[in-house]
Amino acid sequence: MTKVLIVDDSRLVRLTIKTILARAEGIEVVGEAENGREGVDMARDLNPDVVTLDIEMPVMNGIECLRRLRILSPAKVVVLSSLTHPASPKAVEARLVGADAVIGKPSGSVSKDVDATGGDLLVDTIRRLVDTADTQGRAPQTQGAAS
């Protein structure tokens, strides 16, 4: 099971992302943070395999959060932003700081009509990053299994 931490200041966006990921087999949302500081603390405590991260947030923005995550966590980081085009200066900065992917936020309401394209892109990106980590010998972190 791939463990995902969602970091975004919008409750609606967190709920939309959580709804999309809940429909994806093999992906579990283990936590939600509403700013970068909470995201850093939760990543330390929850050891997610993947963090979805907004750029524009109060308290601690996504770029500073990403810098700290690179120091303390092996988690893959997917930067999601409605304000940042993949070729924008902020997206380039996110990649330079260590983002594993930068994509647009999925749009849609929290219903059966959640935008399939954005949702599929997010799920596919998470799976690709985890598969890449597996082939490089860094298996996703999982809770200890009983023997």
Q: What is the pLDDT of residues 53-69, one digit of tens each?
A: 999 999 999 999 999 99
**Of 42, 45, 145, 24, which Cα lies nearest the Cα of 53?**
42
Reply yes or no on whether the pLDDT at 103 is more than 80. yes
CB 7 within 8 Å of CB 53: yes
**Residue 96 exposed, middle or buried by CB count within 10 Å (0-12, 13-18, 19+):** exposed
Q: Give residue 108's pLDDT band: very low, low, confident or very high (50, 70, 90).
A: low
Sign of CA dihedral 19, 122, 37, 30: positive
Provide φ and ψ at 35, rounded to 5°.
-160, 170
Kindly tell me the burial class for residue 147, based on how many C-beta atoms sit within 10 Å of its own C-beta (0-12, 13-18, 19 or more): exposed
Q: What is the mean pLDDT of the chain?
A: 84
What's residue 117's pLDDT? 47
Q: Single out the residue of 76, 27, 79 nearest to residue 50, CA to CA.
A: 76
Give me the pLDDT at residue 132, please. 78
Both structure tokens of 35: 């700013």
Give all domains of the chain, ordered by start, each with its CATH number: 2-134 (3.40.50.2300)
Q: Which amino acid is at 141?
A: Q
Closest CA to 47 of 15, 11, 92, 2: 2
Supply the pTM of this predicted model.
0.84
The pLDDT confidence band at residue 140, using thresholds 50, 70 and 90, is very low
SS3 category, 145: coil
